[in-house]
Amino acid sequence: MKKHREPAENCRLKSVTVSMESSGKYFASLLYEGYSCENQAADKDYSNAKILGIDYAMQGMAVFSEEIELEKAGFFRKNEKRLAREQRKLSRCVKGSHNYVRQKKKVARCHEKIRSQRRDYLHKLSRRIADQYDIVAVEDIDMKAMSQCLHFGKSVQDNGYGMFRNMLEYKLEWKGKELIKVDRFFPSSKKCSKCGKIKKELKLSERVYHCTCGNEMDRDRNAAINIREEARRMLAA
């Protein structure tokens, strides 16, 4: 057995949930009562808060208002050829045979590896951000609707942005910090982060934002800065 961590002292075990993966691995999740979250803040002071703005990006999952080093994600794309090869082998097996059962587990292990790599990457990134920033601002976009439009389904699901947002929210809450969701209709991409002017039209193919004030920068970085400043305005209000 691999134990994730020791339970906190003076806690009472409430329930144990046992689950099994398609690959045959078992997991036991233990729920304890009385666990106190670390560094909970009673009174929140936003006057000197360090705020990070995050804008969703199809390539690389997200773009930040500040420079943050990211590893190259896209774990499904990296393992796609291997997964396709194992699935082809499975399709040639006779259903119910010994080879079919064995190959089915191989396919399940491929899916499990992709899922585990993605979760590990998102956990580490969300933890790093939760440690460094007091407030994180994101756009309240509908990821399910995003995956169903313009044939973006594979890219959206591979990025795991919705999962990343959930991880950020509870990790920040543990530390007494906050995740702010900016309205999805806020013109973060069309607004200039320098002068505040809003473009009437902005094509999806335009990856560099150009403004009459002379501002020229990456479209997603410009949006992330606008999201950060909108969160600052919401906190002040």
Q: How many residues does the chain have?
A: 237
- Residue 191: both structure tokens together: 């607004």
Active site residue 139: yes
Longest distance between any two alpha carbons in the chain, whole Å = 69
How many Å apart are CA 157 and CA 60, to the nearest integer?
Answer: 12
Rounded distance between C-alpha atoms, residue 237 and residue 234, angstroms: 5
Q: Where are the beta strands (DSSP E) in the chain?
A: 12-20, 26-33, 51-57, 61-64, 135-139, 178-182, 208-210, 216-218
Residue 142 among the catalytic residues: no
55 noted as active-site residue:
yes
Among 178, 220, 229, 230, the active-site one is 220
Q: Residue 203: CB partners within 8 Å, gap ≥ 6?
A: none
Catalytic residue among 134, 139, 178, 229: 139
Q: Please pick, among 55, 86, 158, 178, the residue that the annotation labels catalytic.
A: 55
Q: Which neighbouring-strand residues pair with 62? A: 56
> Between helices 75-92 and 98-132, what is the axis angle to 10°?
170
Active site residues: 55, 139, 220
